[in-house]
A and B are shown apart, each in its own frame.
Chain A
């Protein structure tokens, strides 16, 4: 299994294709399978060298007790980038993966040629985002957990989600597994394990990625926000305050664009990556 030891942990990664480096960064409680099942790595591998990896605590990577802020995970990325010998890469970050990507762009600009965000919320932009903590997927989650007698609260609280799931008696866990079905069961079973870490509290911390730091990112950024995203104020702020940011709405999507509208998301990602590649890596011999 391709793994790399970085920043005191072990990360599971996959790589395919040849060309400019693209790294896909998944969301919190997700893993790189979300990209695999979307078909995006295969679609990009004809033009790019595509790296996907599981962030610490997620998927098949190790699960250390701490280090789950966007700053910590940006450092994981920086060391993975070095260990794999990547060129300055274009990052595609979904949700919290986009926060990690932007933090990496700010902290390690030599590793990041550009960032494509997919429906990311930034704790450092809480003051401009009226819908902080009011994601529709949290509403869906809360309603589902209510069916087994668990109250998760009105606003996104990963620590509470992990803690409550860890405390579920087996018969209620089984009820939830039946509700989520075969594909959702693995997602559900990882939640109690994350309760043993600081992930729940740390992923919603600003961790140094303030509005000023975000605005200082000089690399090109593409803000791909979903049609039914609660974070469209964030998208507008990024477009107005970043030096090189363009925004685009992915139709018929509500946070999981790569699955909600696979064709539309794949088209937008491919189009912007090719555009950024021509800007970042112009044709012709290297200078």
Chain B
């Protein structure tokens, strides 16, 4: 299993490469929030999901993950939650 640190670094790299024109906080941390801190819109998560699929070379069940977030009434998405998702599936 990949370490949390490795996956966070990989995630940060994919985010920067996917949105090169955005003014992203440095460094990103597990508590960094996708919407409030990175300024994401929901479509950005769809785009990021596609890039993470390509980066890790497999189709990740992002839809199920995002539906789960919505079902539990989440108001934002911390990168730590994304890292935990990646840890489970890559």
Contacts and interface: CB of A to CB of B under 8 A. Distances in A.
A32 B33 contact: no
B88 interface: no
B64 interface: yes
Contacts of A32: 43, 46
A226 interface: no
Interface string A75-100: 00000000000000000000000000
Interface residues of A, number: 29
A255 B58 CA distance: 34
A41 B62 CA distance: 10
A275 interface: no
Q: Binding site of A, secondary structure by majority: helix, strand, loop or mixed?
A: helix
Given A12-B47, A32-B43, A182 B67 contact: no
B43 A31 contact: yes
Interface bin, chain B: 20 to 34
A154 interface: no
A170 interface: no
Contacts, number: 72
B65 to A, nearest CB: 9
A60 B42 CA distance: 11
Contacts of A185: 35, 41
Interface string B67-88: 1001100011000000000000
A39 B67 contact: yes
Interface in A24-40: 31-34, 36-40
B46 A33 contact: yes
Interface of A: 1-2, 12, 14, 16, 31-34, 36-42, 54, 59-60, 181-183, 185-187, 189-190, 259, 262
